[in-house]
Structure 1
Amino acid sequence: MTKTPATLALWQRLSSKPGGRWLFTQGVCRRAPYFSTIRPRVQALDTGRCVVSSRKRRSVENHIGTFHAIAMCNMAELAGGLAAEATVPVSHRWIPQGMEVDYLAKAETDLTTTCVIDPPSQWEDRQTLLTPVDVRDAEGNVVFRARIRMYVSKKPSR
């Protein structure tokens, strides 16, 4: 039996309770304060999948009144990181290695970010895990796409 990653176990405990998703998101933002700039809300988290939303408001807008590119990068990194955290076995660790992004359309509404990972059947001592992320507007159009490479390695023995 494999052990559930702590972040995923916490989500499973909190997400179905009143205010649990909000509390979980606040905890994530406390550990990584830069995510709080987009005021995210984790909507779903499971092995290989994470969904995060963010409302469009003045503090995430650029000079033309659309969702700022770096705010969308933060959303992508949050969804990709949580998906990796929920997917990578507890015997391993991960860190972002690089991110490629495509700005596909103006982001003029609230956004929903989805990362779906296809985990390997066998975890190596060292490998790169691709975490593809789509950011969609309120109409469901993909406005931003990211491909985040996560470096995954076995945790050192203590």
Structure 2
Amino acid sequence: MQQEKNSMCRMVDKTAVLPRGLRSLAITKLFGNFVPFLGTAGLRFEEVGRERMVVSIRNRRRVQNHIKGLHAAAMALLAETASGFVVGMNVPDDKLMLLKSMKVDYMKRAQGDMRAVATLSAAQVVRMVQEEKGDVLVDVVVTDESGESPIRCEMLWAWVPKKRN
């Protein structure tokens, strides 16, 4: 089924004319306009799609904890951002998306920079388009420089019709 593109998809499509290296920077800047805190934290959008979103963060002083690792809140932000933007690529413009619940288990100390990969199944995408309201548990895997997953996350996103004024 070919679905109509929402405003976020159309915005990302406009960056297709840019060289690959610049495309990621442009998308990062555009998405930072939606959520200014993303720029403050230094999140970078590496891969953007309707079924897969890859977001990374460098372990730098601004986002570190007291032991020079990535702060717990920065790790949670990384997972929330990747999962939220993959949902945002699919929710029609007449719907509002909201984070319904977020669970983060900190399993071990993180090493260096981190990356979150959030994915949706084709069936989840169809539900977002066809159902007036609902929710979806987004699969998101966060890894550090060692390739290990120092946190385990559950991100439940909901969508509802926008209120008309």
Q: What TM-score do the two structures reach when normalised by structure 1?
A: 0.88
Give the SS at the match of 2:14. helix
User: What's the counterpart of residue 3 of structure 1?
Assistant: 4
Equivalent AA in structure 1 for residue 153 of structure 2: A
Across the two proteins, how many residue pairs are aligned to each other?
Answer: 158
Change beyond 3 A, Cα 1:15–1:51: farther
Matches of 1:38 and 1:84 in 2, distance apart?
21
Superposition deviation, residue 96 in structure 1: 0.8
Residue 36 of structure 2 is aligned to residue 29 of structure 1: no
Residue 50 of structure 2 is aligned to residue 43 of structure 1: no
Matches of 1:9 and 1:31 in 2, distance apart?
14
User: What's the counterpart of residue 74 of structure 1?
Assistant: 77
User: What's the counterpart of residue 117 of structure 1?
Assistant: 120
Superposition deviation, residue 88 in structure 1: 2.1
Superposition deviation, residue 79 in structure 1: 0.6
Would the aligned equivalents of 1:8 and 1:45 in 2 still touch at CA under 8 Å? no
Give the SS at the match of 2:150. strand
Change beyond 3 A, Cα 1:91–1:135: same
Would the aligned equivalents of 1:3 and 1:90 in 2 still touch at CA under 8 Å? no
User: What's the counterpart of residue 156 of structure 2?
Assistant: 149
Equivalent AA in structure 2 for residue 147 of structure 1: E
Give the SS at the match of 1:114. strand
Equivalent AA in structure 2 for residue 22 of structure 1: L
Matches of 2:126 and 2:100 in 1, distance apart?
21
Matches of 1:126 and 1:47 in 2, distance apart?
19
Superposition deviation, residue 120 in structure 1: 5.4
**Cα distance per residue 1:33-59 (max 9 Å; x no partner):** 111232111011111211001111111
Residue 105 of structure 2 is aligned to residue 99 of structure 1: no
Matches of 2:150 and 2:72 in 1, distance apart?
10
Residue 143 of structure 2 is aligned to residue 136 of structure 1: yes
Higher helix share: 2
Q: What TM-score do the two structures reach when normalised by structure 2?
A: 0.85
Equivalent AA in structure 1 for residue 161 of structure 2: K
Equivalent AA in structure 1 for residue 107 of structure 2: L
Matches of 2:64 and 2:163 in 1, distance apart?
42
Could you tell me which runs of 5 or more consecutive residues in structure 1 were left unpaired when the two chains were aligned. none
